[in-house]
Each structure stands twice: as structure tokens, then as C-alpha cells.
């Protein structure tokens, strides 16, 4: 019985892959191990030698391709037609579901080598996820084709057959194979016949709503008529029970949103003729504790003020989609029903409107995607509406036919299934410190920043595509993660796997940064092949930022306008008064016209300090030189700060310490400081007169002045001492002598103003010298 079996242990397997990309199909089962140990089995055309493989489908859809590994056995292949048979169940005893003829014309070039061979299946072969199938390969006119089967029970969901169903080797081998499926799209909406269709949610959510006075209710609707009223969702059941908490409804040709705020029914409507037949429209109703709002397609259509009750009315009515017991049956289709326990502003509604919600939403009580069943097919077994909020407020379908194009699960819906809305974040602005500044000072810019960013993630299997779109006006600013290979994790927590294309981030960044949307193909043509023989996938996490800042200033007299947009540029602060001015700046972050949490800071502008007053030339009398100090100069106020030069005074550096000895003929500069602000300068030249000062200036000469090096001094009497002092009164040079003519060399001194003090017969004179 085994005379046709070739037990070939292959320790060298060369698998030649080629790029394969068919729109819409996905890889389902993939048994393509890199393990090179296994068996080669001939398939012939005499009916005695064929091989089969059992597998379990992972997806529901059309069986589109079967791949196997074709080898070369001693150049024995006879080219021609071969056949693939597909059986239901495990083995050859089930129903024959399909039979497809295919050709093998060329074997791999060398004995012991393999290549991947593709069998394209005819259209219309349905597979159901979880069901078992068996593929049989045999020859018709062709024969002696070698197929590879790794040894061991390496594909645990199935087993191996040969020789017309023999299962002796069922757990010893498995074919090297892949299956591709074109998935059958699930429905994306539920159609209501307007007669008796409804979805009962129950009343357990009512207790959650009872103490609240905030709610948001959303839905995509596609009405087929405007006859009478049609409930979208709510717990109003007139006339059996007149109490309710909320109701979103089509009233003839307008949409309405109702609440009972504990003081009676209150309503807001969207205006006449706002219902568009046979067209998907998004409707949202909001109660914020003081007013009702209704939006169509994200646009505010109506407001009712004065809805100020402290909480919802109490009721035991069931929350129902599509009808109530009045009855007010909705005719048409409904998609994406969301019930929130909080207020959504217009921007958040717009942010969420065109996609499914990401997980982890705050305040989401119930969420119905309607992505169930097969569009307009036999869905009689699908009678429960799934709550995707995680709160298990699942609904029960009542009276639906669940066959055909009405009263059934249908497509398309209001949004495209698996299109994900970006996560909405309340705009924020980072804190800015308050400042104190002086009149006529130039401020630094006030740069506003925000930590509010949005994150979008995308995932695709090999040969798929990822398209990410940020909100209107936003652009992508960074790509924290991108990996083509075998990445792991979930959005926000992705990690690189054992296989990774190192150019993933750079390629995605080049496509995304600065763009509102981008698309990337997950294939070897885009990234190269980082790991042959391995099925790959692509994960991307992208960050976008579109926050702008509006600011106001409550005191424009400081020299800053009353309002502006963006950061605040440098400006010259102004305060011409005598007391400080405190301006409060409010910065409000905005995204798509919606305000976030503002911040405030202050700009205090102090006035210029009063200029000191006093004589600009003053005679200072003292018994000896040490008696004449900076404190002897008479100015008001007496708390001024003194400097030895105007440049130091303007810069506020090198202030003269208390007790600084005055130099005869020197100029000193007084600055008044109030509230850390400096006044204009007061210059005072001093004439220091000591008790024995009768120096005869008529017979004294000093030249050249200014000088660049040597200064000559001449006096009619004998000079006994010369000192050179800087502006701080520090002695830079001292020279003892007995001469009427002498020189001092200043060539090594820095360029500055100096004072030369001459002593003769016990009398002293100080002269200013400028060194260039």
C-alpha cells in the first residue's frame, strides 16, 4: 500500500517566494514552517497516489486561493492538469464543495528544491469560520508532482491524508500550505420595517440616569419616510406609561430630542424639513443641565434654554431602539447608537461622527455598532444587538424578518465599518509664569504650548493597507511606533517583534509628518522583506496636534493689545503712572473652534522710579581725605545707589560700596530704585576740599590728557608722592619721589578713566586722566 510513498527526509529546503497581492483577500491559514525536516509525497494521475490536508477556517468568506510547496523529484514531473477537491469536514467522507483544475508545467530547477505553487479557486466557494475542511490534490493528465509535508504534528488543527483518504500518517505529517479568504463583510446597520420591528435594551440603565442632569444621545439614521413619528432611541412609552427620561425621535420631517428633567417634558427640535429621506444623517441630542441642544451632521440646529431640573425623572420603561408601545415605529435603517452620561460639545461630536469609537471612552453608557450578520442574508440566528461599551446593555431584536433587504441586518451603514475616530482630548495649555517688569522694558515672548495631542493607530496584515486621517485642520507631528514585520501589543503599547524592517519609522514618517492623512501599503515592495518565509503585518501609531491659542488682556494700557491669537510676541511694557499696573492674561486653547481649559497669569508693570534730585556740582569738605565719602554727597532720596561711571549705572553693575572715599574732581552717578525699577541718572561732580588743601593749580601741569601711554607731571614745588586710582577708588599705582618733574607709564593699563593724586608739601590734588 505504501509503494507510492516516497519518504524523503529533506534537510535542505529552498523555498522560492514571490510577491502576491490580491485586493480584498487575506491570509487565513498559514502552515509554512521554516523547519526543513519533512517528507516529499508524489501525486499521480492513476488514482493510487494523492494527498490531502484537513484545516479549520479562521474567517468567514470566499475561499480564494490554496498554496502548496511544489518540489522536484529526479525530474520525474509530467506536466499537465491536476485537480484540487474541497470536502466539508475532516476527511473525504463529507460533501464535495468544489473541484478546481489547475496546471503544473514546470518543476523547480533542481532535485530537492521547492517553490510555492498557487491554485486560484473559482468564485462562490463559501467558508465559515470554525468549520473544518479537507483539501485533496491529485493528477489528471499530469503526474509525479512532488509536494512537501513537514514531519510531526506541526499543524494541530488538522491532519494528513494520502492514497484516497488513508489516515495512517494523520499525525505524522502536515502539508506545507496556505489558504486565502476574501472575507464576507459583516452588516453595518439594522433596517426597521416601520411595522413592528424594535430592539429592547431593558431598563437597568435607568437607575444610572436617575440622579443625573446631563446626557448625550447619538445615532446615524437613514429614514425611509416622514409619516407620523419614528423613535430612534429612548424610554418614552406613551400612552401606557407617560414618564420617561430621554427620547431621540423623528417627528414627521424634523428631528427632536426630549428629556424629563423632573419638572416635565422638555424638547428641542432641528427645524422643519431637516429630515432627508433615504440619506444617512447623524443626529445628536445633548442636555447640559441648563439647556437642550440638537445637532445634525455635527451642526447645531436648535437650542432650548431653561431646562434646569436637578435630575431625570424616575421610570421603569424599557429603553428601546426603533419603536415604543404607542407605537411610533421607525422606518429605515439605524447605525451607531451611543448613549453617554455626560455632555459632548460640538467638537467632540464632530470628532466622533465619522468613525467607530476607540475603547476606553469616558462616560459611555451604551454603544451599538450594528456590525453583525451578513448584509441582507439569512440572519435568523442573530437576534441580539451587542453593546460595545463593555457595560453589557445588550439588546434583543423583536419581530425582525432577518432575511432580505428590509427588517434585517444591512449595509452600508452611516459610517464605514472599522473606520476609527481619533480619540478626542479636551484642549489644554501649559502653565505660564507671571512676571514683574518695569516701564519701557522689553518683555520676552510668551510662548503657549499644549500637551493635548491625538493618537491614531492602524494595523494591517501583509498585502493590506493602513490609512489614517487626523481631524480637519490637524496634521501628524510624530510617529512614535511603526513596524513592518511581527510587531506585538495594542495601540499605545506596541512593541517590535522578532522580525522588523528597520526602515519602518522613516518610511511612515516621510508619508505622515505634516499631513492630515496618509496611506501605507504593508508589503515587501514598500519596506523590503525583513524576514523571508514569515507572514508579516504592519502596526503604526501616529500623533497629531492642532491646538491654537486665543488670549485676552484686561489692561491694554500696559502696551499689549486686548486680545490676540497664537503666542504673545515681545512688547515694550508701559506704565506712565506712579503705581504698579497688574494686567491679567487669559489664554484659552482651541481645537476646531472648541475651547479647552484656559490658564491665567499676570504681567505687573512697575512705573519708572523717580529721578534723584540734587546739585550736579558739590563741594565736599573734610579734614583729611578719608573723611570725604560717598555718603557726603547731598541727594534725595538718600537711598540711591551710586556708580562710578554712567555705563555701570545704566547696566546696574559695579555699584560703589558704602564708605567709598571720594576723589576730588570725580563724577559720580546716582540711581533711585523702586520696585526693582531704576530711575534716570543724576550725575554729580565733587570738589573735595580738605583742611590743608592749598594746592597751587596755577603752577601745575599734566600732559598729554587723554593719553595712550606716558603722562608727564610738572609742578613748581617738589612732588613727593603720586598715586593712580580707578573709578572704584582702588589704587592701581603708587610712586614715591622728590622731583618737580616726573612721568607715569599707563601703557599697560586698560582703556578707562583714572584719577591721578599728587602730594606736595603735605598738600593733595586729584586730576582725572583718560587712558585710550
pLDDT in tens, 169-186: 999 999 999 999 988 888
Residue 571 has pLDDT above 90, yes or no: yes
At 531 the three-state DSSP class reads coil
Q: State the pLDDT at residue 299.
A: 95
Confidence band (pLDDT; 50, 70, 90) for 4? very low
Q: State the pLDDT at residue 5.
A: 35
CA angle 110, 115, 119 (to 5 degrees): 135
| Lowest mean pLDDT segment, chosen from 12-16, 57-61, 149-153, 273-277 | 12-16
Residue 11 has pLDDT above 80, yes or no: no
Q: Average of pLDDT values for 391-405?
A: 97
Structural domain boundaries in the chain: 15-183, 189-410, 454-545, 617-689, 694-771
Pairing of strands 26-31, 177-183: antiparallel
* Cα–Cα distance for residue pair 14/36, rounded to 1 Å: 9
561 Cβ partners below 8 Å, 6+ apart?
Answer: 553
Q: Average of pLDDT values for 633-650?
A: 93
Among 29, 52, 54, smallest CA distance to 158 is for: 54
Mean residue pLDDT of the chain comes to 90
Q: State the pLDDT at residue 541.
A: 96
Question: Which 8-state DSSP code applies to residue 324?
Answer: -
Q: Average of pLDDT values for 467-491?
A: 89
393 or 72, greater pLDDT:
393
The model's pLDDT over 581-638, given as tens digits with 9 standing for 90+, comes to 999 999 999 877 788 889 999 999 999 999 999 999 998 876 555 568 898 999 999 8
Residue 218 has pLDDT above 90, yes or no: yes
Residue by residue, what is the 3-state secondary structure of 359-397? CCCCCEEEEECCCCCCCCCCCCCCCEECCCCCCCCCEEE
Q: State the pLDDT at residue 113.
A: 78
Span 189-410 CATH architecture = Sandwich (2.60)
The H-or-E segment that residue 563 falls in is strand 563-565
Cα 405 off chain centre by: 40
Q: State the pLDDT at residue 624.
A: 57
Q: State the pLDDT at residue 196.
A: 95
Residue 9 has pLDDT above 60, yes or no: no
| Lowest mean pLDDT segment, chosen from 21-30, 334-343, 380-389, 718-727 | 21-30
Confidence band (pLDDT; 50, 70, 90) for 16? very low
Q: State the pLDDT at residue 170.
A: 92
Q: State the pLDDT at residue 690.
A: 65
Q: State the pLDDT at residue 246.
A: 97
* Cα–Cα distance for residue pair 606/608, rounded to 1 Å: 7
362 or 546, greater pLDDT:
362
Tell me the Ramachandran region of residue 680: left when phi exceeds 0, alpha when psi lies from -120 to 50, beta otherwise: beta
Express as a percent the part of the chain with pLDDT over 70.
94
CB atoms closer than 10 angstroms to residue 519: 12
Q: State the pLDDT at residue 39.
A: 79
Residue 692 has pLDDT above 70, yes or no: no
Question: Which 8-state DSSP code applies to residue 608?
Answer: P
* Cα–Cα distance for residue pair 88/371, rounded to 1 Å: 28
CATH 1.10.3720.10 corresponds to the domain 454-545: no
Q: State the pLDDT at residue 343.
A: 95
Residue by residue, what is the 3-state secondary structure of 67-125? EEEEECCCCCCECEEEEEEEEECCCCCCCEEEEEEEEECCCCCCCCCEEEEEEECCCCC
In the sheet where 454-461 sits, what is the strand order? 454-461, 537-545, 475-485
The CA–CA distances, whole Å, from 120 to 64, 95, 99, 125, 734 equal: 6, 20, 11, 11, 108
What letters, b where the CB count within 10 A reaches 16 and e where it falls short, cover 94-126?
eeebbebebebeebbeeebbbbbbebebeeebe
Q: Average of pLDDT values for 284-312?
A: 97
CATH number of the domain at 694-771, please?
2.60.40.3080
Q: State the pLDDT at residue 40.
A: 86
Domain 15-183, CATH among 1.10.287.130, 2.60.120.820, 3.40.50.880, 3.10.20.30: 2.60.120.820
Among 545, 552, 560, smallest CA distance to 588 is for: 552
Residue 35 has pLDDT above 70, yes or no: no
> Rounded to the nearest 10 degrees, how much is the dihedral formed by the CA atoms of 715, 718, 723, 727?
-30
Q: State the pLDDT at residue 13.
A: 28
**Which set of grid coordinates corresponds to residue 244?**
420617561
Among 682, 707, 728, 713, smallest CA distance to 771 is for: 707
* Cα–Cα distance for residue pair 634/613, rounded to 1 Å: 9
Do the beta carbons of residue 283 and residue 222 sit within 8 Å? Answer: no
Q: State the pLDDT at residue 491.
A: 92
> Rounded to the nearest 10 degrees, how much is the dihedral formed by the CA atoms of 215, 357, 317, 224?
100
**Which set of grid coordinates corresponds to residue 280?**
444617512
* Cα–Cα distance for residue pair 692/694, rounded to 1 Å: 6
189-410 matches 694-771 in fold: no
Q: State the pLDDT at residue 462.
A: 92
Confidence band (pLDDT; 50, 70, 90) for 7? very low
Q: State the pLDDT at residue 595.
A: 85
Cα 282 off chain centre by: 26
Confidence band (pLDDT; 50, 70, 90) for 323? very high
Q: State the pLDDT at residue 241.
A: 61
Q: State the pLDDT at residue 622.
A: 63
453 or 434, greater pLDDT:
434
Q: State the pLDDT at residue 21.
A: 39
Among 363, 227, 357, smallest CA distance to 288 is for: 363
The model's pLDDT over 503-530, given as tens digits with 9 standing for 90+, comes to 999 999 999 998 889 999 999 999 999 9
Amino acid at each position: 500500500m505504501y509503494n507510492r510513498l516516497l519518504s524523503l527526509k529533506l534537510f535542505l529546503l529552498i523555498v522560492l517566494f514571490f510577491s502576491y497581492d490580491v485586493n480584498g483577500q487575506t491570509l487565513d491559514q498559514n502552515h509554512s514552517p521554516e523547519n526543513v525536516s519533512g517528507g516529499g509525497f508524489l501525486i499521480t494521475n492513476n488514482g493510487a497516489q494523492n494527498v490531502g490536508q484537513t484545516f479549520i477556517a479562521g474567517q468567514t468568506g470566499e475561499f480564494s486561493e490554496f498554496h502548496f510547496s511544489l518540489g522536484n523529484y529526479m525530474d520525474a514531473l509530467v506536466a499537465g492538469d491536476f485537480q484540487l477537491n474541497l470536502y466539508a469536514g475532516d476527511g473525504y467522507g463529507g460533501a464535495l464543495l468544489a473541484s478546481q483544475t489547475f496546471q503544473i508545467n514546470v518543476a523547480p530547477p533542481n532535485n530537492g528544491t521547492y517553490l510555492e505553487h498557487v491554485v486560484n479557486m473559482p468564485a462562490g466557494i463559501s467558508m465559515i469560520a470554525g468549520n473544518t475542511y479537507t483539501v485533496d490534490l491529485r493528477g489528471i493528465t499530469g503526474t509525479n508532482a512532488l509536494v512537501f509535508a513537514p514531519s510531526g504534528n506541526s499543524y494541530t488543527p488538522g491532519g494528513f491524508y494520502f492514497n484516497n483518504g488513508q489516515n495512517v500518517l494523520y499525525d505524522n505529517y502536515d502539508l506545507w500550505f496556505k489558504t486565502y479568504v476574501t472575507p464576507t463583510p459583516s452588516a453595518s446597520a439594522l433596517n426597521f420595517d416601520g411595522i413592528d420591528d424594535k430592539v429592547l435594551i431593558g431598563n437597568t440603565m435607568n437607575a444610572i440616569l436617575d440622579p443625573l442632569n446631563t446626557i448625550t444621545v447619538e445615532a446615524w439614521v437613514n429614514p425611509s419616510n416622514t409619516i407620523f413619528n419614528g423613535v430612534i432611541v429612548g424610554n418614552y412609552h406613551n400612552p401606557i406609561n407617560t414618564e420617561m427620561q430621554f427620547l431621540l425621535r423623528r417627528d414627521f420631517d424634523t428631528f427632536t430630542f426630549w428629556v424629563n428633567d423632573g419638572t416635565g417634558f422638555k424638547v428641542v427640535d432641528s427645524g422643519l424639513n431637516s429630515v432627508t429621506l433615504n440619506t444617512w444623517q447623524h443626529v445628536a441630542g445633548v442636555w447640559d443641565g441648563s439647556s437642550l441642544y440638537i445637532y445634525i451632521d455635527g451642526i447645531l440646529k436648535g437650542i432650548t434654554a431653561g431646562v434646569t431640573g436637578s435630575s431625570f425623572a424616575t421610570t421603569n420603561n424599557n429603553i428601546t431602539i426603533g419603536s415604543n408601545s404607542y407605537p411610533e415605529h421607525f422606518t429605515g435603517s439605524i447605525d451607531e447608537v451611543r448613549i453617554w452620561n455626560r455632555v459632548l460639545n460640538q467638537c467632540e461630536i464632530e470628532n466622533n461622527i465619522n468613525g467607530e469609537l476607540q475603547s476606553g471612552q469616558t462616560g459611555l453608557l451604551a454603544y451599538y455598532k450594528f456590525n453583525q450578520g451578513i448584509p441582507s442574508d439569512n440572519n435568523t440566528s442573530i437576534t441580539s444587538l451587542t453593546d460595545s461599551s463593555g457595560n453589557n446593555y445588550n439588546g434583543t431584536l423583536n419581530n425582525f424578518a432577518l432575511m432580505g433587504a428590509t427588517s434585517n441586518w444591512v449595509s452600508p451603514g452611516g459610517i464605514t465599518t472599522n473606520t476609527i475616530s481619533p480619540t478626542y482630548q479636551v484642549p489644554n495649555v501649559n502653565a505660564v509664569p507671571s512676571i514683574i517688569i518695569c516701564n519701557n522694558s522689553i518683555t520676552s515672548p510668551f510662548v503657549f504650548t499644549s500637551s493635548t495631542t491625538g493618537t491614531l493607530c492602524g494595523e494591517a496584515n501583509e498585502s493590506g493597507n493602513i490609512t489614517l486621517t487626523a481631524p480637519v485642520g490637524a496634521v501628524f507631528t510624530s510617529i512614535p511606533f511603526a513596524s513592518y514585520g511581527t510587531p506585538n501589543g495594542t495601540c499605545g503599547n506596541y512593541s517590535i517583534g522578532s522580525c522588523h524592517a528597520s526602515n519602518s519609522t522613516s518610511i511612515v514618517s516621510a508619508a505622515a509628518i505634516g499631513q492630515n492623512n496618509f496611506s501605507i501599503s504593508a508589503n515587501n515592495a514598500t519596506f523590503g522583506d525583513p524576514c523571508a518565509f514569515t507572514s508579516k503585518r504592519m502596526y503604526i501609531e501616529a500623533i497629531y496636534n492642532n491646538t491654537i491659542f486665543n488670549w485676552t488682556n484686561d489692561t491694554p494700557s500696559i502696551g499689549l493689545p486686548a486680545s490676540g491669537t497664537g503666542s504673545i510676541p515681545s512688547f515694550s511694557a508701559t506704565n506712565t503712572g506712579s503705581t504698579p499696573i497688574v494686567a491679567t492674561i487669559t489664554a484659552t486653547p482651541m481645537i476646531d473652534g472648541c475651547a479647552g481649559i484656559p490658564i491665567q497669569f499676570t504681567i505687573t508693570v512697575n512705573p519708572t522710579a523717580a529721578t534723584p534730585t540734587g546739585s550736579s556740582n558739590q563741594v565736599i569738605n573734610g579734614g583729611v581725605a578719608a573723611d570725604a565719602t560717598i555718603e557726603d554727597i547731598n541727594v534725595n532720596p538718600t537711598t540711591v545707589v551710586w556708580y562710578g561711571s554712567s555705563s555701570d549705572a545704566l547696566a546696574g553693575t559695579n555699584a560703589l560700596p558704602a564708605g567709598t572715599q571720594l576723589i576730588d574732581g570725580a563724577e559720580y552717578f546716582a540711581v533711585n530704585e523702586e520696585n526693582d525699577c531704576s530711575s534716570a541718572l543724576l550725575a554729580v561732580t565733587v570738589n573735595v576740599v580738605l583742611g590743608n588743601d592749598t594746592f597751587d593749580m596755577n603752577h601745575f601741569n599734566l600732559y598729554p590728557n587723554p593719553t595712550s601711554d606716558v603722562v608727564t607731571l610738572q609742578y613748581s614745588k617738589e612732588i613727593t608722592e603720586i598715586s593712580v586710582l580707578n573709578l572704584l577708588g582702588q589704587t592701581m599705582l603708587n610712586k614715591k619721589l622728590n622731583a618737580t618733574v616726573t612721568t607715569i607709564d599707563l601703557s599697560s593699563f586698560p582703556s578707562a578713566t583714572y584719577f591721578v593724586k599728587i602730594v606736595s608739601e603735605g598738600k593733595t590734588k586729584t586730576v582725572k586722566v583718560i587712558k585710550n
